[in-house]
């Protein structure tokens, strides 16, 4: 098993691991065997920060899970969709695959699309956005980011891409823009930096 990373889906968290005041929907989700999603936050050794997902955006609960309870782990890059679909978001996922595969970078869907593909639970709808994670262990130039962003401009739905750097994540849309500093999301919280790959060199 790989060390869990943000957006990974994990199975095995028991309902008994929830706080005593956890809402009933969270208990039901874990009792039904649904996975939790790794979130970007720090926690003690032997634990991982995760989120329990219910119905709709209002049902989200941030908790921690014991690493020893993990029974199955699915990363975004393991999820694909290539069949015809009535949902624009799945059509968009199929359409971007060739471009992203050609980049040589590891990538995959997150958010509702990733959750649906991994679990079979129908959560996407006609107005769903496509959330993608692209792993960028090496620096990506802003010119390359703009080229990549342009390829998504004509998709059947809005496509939001997070570039996962060794220091955290930055939105492709921001890195492709003109702002001198961009928002880097890390386990220590969000901050503005000039270089998402080497944030300490130009810390805000």
Helix ranges (H only) for 88-155 are 88-103, 111-119, 142-151
Report whether 79 contacts 70 (CB < 8 A).
no
- Residue 73 φ then ψ, to 5°: -135, 130
pLDDT tens, residue order, the chain (204 aa): 689 999 999 999 999 999 999 999 999 999 999 999 999 999 999 999 999 998 877 899 999 999 999 999 999 999 999 888 899 999 999 999 999 999 999 999 999 999 999 999 889 999 999 999 999 999 999 999 999 999 988 889 999 999 999 999 999 999 999 999 999 999 889 999 999 999 886 544
| Residue appearing with tokens 């944030």 | 199
pLDDT in the model for residue 204: 41
pLDDT in the model for residue 97: 92
- Residue 165 φ then ψ, to 5°: -100, 170
Residues involved in catalysis: 129, 131
- 46 φψ region: left (φ > 0), alpha (ψ -120 to 50), beta (else): left
Q: What is the pTM of this model?
A: 0.92
């Amino acid at each position: 098993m790989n060390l869990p990373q943000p957006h990974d889906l994990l199975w095995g968290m028991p309902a008994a691991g929830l706080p005593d005041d956890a809402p009933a929907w969270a208990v039901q989700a874990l009792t039904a065997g649904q996975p939790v999603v790794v979130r970007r936050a720090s926690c003690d050794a032997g634990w991982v920060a995760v989120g329990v997902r219910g119905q709709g955006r209002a049902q989200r609960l941030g908790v921690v899970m014991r690493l020893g309870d993990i029974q199955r782990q699915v990363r975004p890059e393991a999820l694909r969709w290539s069949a015809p679909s009535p949902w624009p978001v799945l059509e968009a996922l199929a359409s971007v695959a060739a471009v992203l595969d050609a980049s040589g970078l590891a990538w995959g869907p997150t958010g509702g699309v990733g959750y649906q593909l991994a679990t079979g639970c129908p959560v996407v709808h006609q107005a769903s956005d496509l959330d993608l994670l692209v792993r960028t262990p090496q620096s990506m130039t802003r010119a390359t980011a703009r080229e990549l962003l342009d390829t998504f401009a004509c998709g059947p739905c809005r496509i939001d891409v997070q570039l996962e750097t060794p220091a955290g994540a930055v939105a492709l849309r921001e890195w492709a823009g003109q702002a001198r500093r961009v928002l880097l999301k890390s386990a220590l919280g969000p901050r503005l930096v000039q270089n998402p790959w080497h944030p300490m060199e130009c810390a805000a």
